[in-house]
Amino acid sequence: MTTHLENEASQSTSALGPLVGLAREDIIGAVAILLRETATNPQRNMKHAQAMGMDMVKIMTGQSELAPDPKDKRFKDQAWQYNPFMRAGMQYYLAVQKGMSNWLEDLELDELERDRARFISNIIIDSVAPTNTLIGNPTAQKVAIDSGGLSLIKGLKNAYDDMVHNKGMVSQVDKKPFKLGENVATSKGSVVLRTEMFELIQYAPTTDEVHAVPQLTIPPQINKMYINDLSPDKSVVKYQLDNGIQTFVISWRNPSKEQGVWDMADYIRSCREAMEAVAKITESDKVNVSAGCSGGQTASMLASKMAADKDDLLGALTLMVCVLHPQQNDIEAGSLISDNGLALAKRRATKAGIIKGDDLARGFAWLRPNDLIWNYVINNYLLGQDPPAFDVLFWNADATNLSASLMGDFLHIYETLAFTKKGEVEMVDHKVDLSKVTSDLFILGGVTDHITPWKATYRSTQLFGSKDVTYVLSQSGHMQAILNPPGNPKAKYYVQKDGRKKLPATADEWLKGTEEVAGSWWPFWIEWVQKRSGEKIPAPDKLGNADYKPLDPAPGKYVVEEV
């Protein structure tokens, strides 16, 4: 059960995207569609009620052949097959699920309305699954009997702890085993620059020689930077260091209400300040940049701004699991997003100053309730087990606030499709135009990523003016696509067979010309980075320089600062 929970939740880590602009009115509107259609055509309702009634009769007489999807892990217990009462309960639920699906398909809705209705109805139906209750969960009943009722007592304690210490949300991770600097974020380094908005961390070389051109990582603004240095066995930072890359990472400060005015322009200025510091410390005239998720959007805006300013400091650019050309049907909940909802969300955020990390996490969880809520209700409360102690989930639970101004800018990028236009949208004191960015480009997607779907990430390959573009597809989900170090026997990735050819216009065309490669994509990427990192020079014997003196040890102060 624990491994299953780890896998499910690590595929569903929170991310900054258009969903932060989802307003409650959009969800209410989707529910209203269902209610409206219920009232408008009684004859149609009767037809589907009769069909469901026939299913119920078959269930009562033991003639129903309704069975769960083989991929539905909720009904794995053998009691669902061999206990007639449990089997009937399961089939009643499946009949409701089937009836709702058939009814939705019969409604006179346009495609967008149908997607909205389907998404909301799935959330509602998932919430009434028999497995979410003790009386309807045979596994929980067996555990209760085997433990003499202790599992129920432990479940009640877990529920009480969540009410008191986790703001009523079911816990996804046991945080107790993890401590920053001890078993998480352990790579040696130092803060070499601290401003009001960020800390710049330089990591200590682990090789005698290093490449002359350094690499700066720009992390997302709603997560802590130590996803890049999670543990020694899956640390992107350590892997870069061990392969002779001079490694720097920005650590964003968690904004308070007063700092809710920080906007994209402020973050871009901070990125440039960090790049200039990296260049001066390493005495390099180029700085390679790597970024993931919303950090990738920030890095792309930075690249556009630097191109407009004819600033040639940027070297090679790596974008991981990042969507620059979104479309409404990319994600399951995309149908819920409306212009009015985006405007309302911006207005509310501006009034509040910030969107709290807890609120972001809560809203995100309810959009994937089976993976991020009901799984844990069953594990923590019904089975009385602790949530998994898993480092990716520990990091995911360590969410940060999002400034209202930055949220507004991200939503403006989404609404205007700023990255797809050539100089039509003005942001950050310039006209956004990625076609003027000519840096060598490496883009990563994840096969099972439903947050930044891989076909959406592929569209970025067509936006830049770069002549050298590499796209790699990792066999995993969102954060797991990035955290895919060598040594995983199941790891594989896809690349274009002939890397010298120009990438085709669509993801489907690209996929036809790919080859599957066993193992982690990290070695392939690090070789790509090394080729663009200049000659080898002796590794520096100290961090920083006279102008950028080492301050606190990595991972710095901002990652532990409470707001």
What does the alpha-carbon distance between residue 240 and residue 189 come to, in Å, rounded to a whole number? 13
Of 19, 170, 293, 554, which residue is the catalytic one? Answer: 293
Q: Which amino acid is at 245?
A: I
Q: Would you state the structure tokens that stand for residue 215, as one six-digit string?
A: 């690499």
State the pairing for strand pair 314-320/469-474.
Answer: unpaired
What does the alpha-carbon distance between residue 270 and residue 307 come to, in Å, rounded to a whole number? 17
Q: How far is CA 46 from CA 39, 96, 168, 405, in A?
A: 11, 14, 40, 50
What does the alpha-carbon distance between residue 134 and residue 123 come to, in Å, rounded to a whole number? 20
Q: Which of 468, 463, 453 is nearest to 419 (CA)?
A: 463
Do 556 and 293 touch, CB atoms closer than 8 A? no
What does the alpha-carbon distance between residue 342 and residue 74 come to, in Å, rounded to a whole number? 35
Residue 562: CA count within 13 A, CB half-sphere: 0
What does the alpha-carbon distance between residue 211 and residue 528 come to, in Å, rounded to a whole number? 13
Q: Which of 484, 405, 400 is nearest to 14 (CA)?
A: 400
What does the alpha-carbon distance between residue 131 and residue 425 come to, in Å, rounded to a whole number? 49
Q: Which amino acid is at 460?
A: S
Told to judge if 293 belongs to the known catalytic residues of this protein, a careful annotator would answer yes
Which residues fall within 8 angstroms of residue 448, CB to CB, at 6 or more apart?
Answer: 11, 475, 476, 477
What does the alpha-carbon distance between residue 131 and residue 113 come to, in Å, rounded to a whole number? 29
What does the alpha-carbon distance between residue 238 and residue 277 come to, in Å, rounded to a whole number? 21
Q: Which long-range contacts (CB under 8 A, 24 or more apart) does 420-429 make?
A: 420/324, 420/325, 420/463, 427/264, 427/265, 427/301, 428/264, 428/265, 428/268, 428/301, 428/304, 428/305, 429/265, 429/305
What does the alpha-carbon distance between residue 304 and residue 307 come to, in Å, rounded to a whole number? 5
CA dihedral in degrees (260, 266, 271, 274; nearest 10)?
-90
Helix (H, G, I), strand (E, B) or coil at 164: helix
What does the alpha-carbon distance between residue 58 and residue 377 come to, in Å, rounded to a whole number? 31
Rg (CA), the chain: 25
Do 260 and 404 touch, CB atoms closer than 8 A? yes
The runs of H, that is alpha helices, within 209-338 are 236-242, 264-282, 294-308
Residue linked to tokens 């059960």: 1
Helix (H, G, I), strand (E, B) or coil at 472: strand
- β partners of residue 518: 492
Do 426 and 296 touch, CB atoms closer than 8 A? no
Catalytic residues: 293
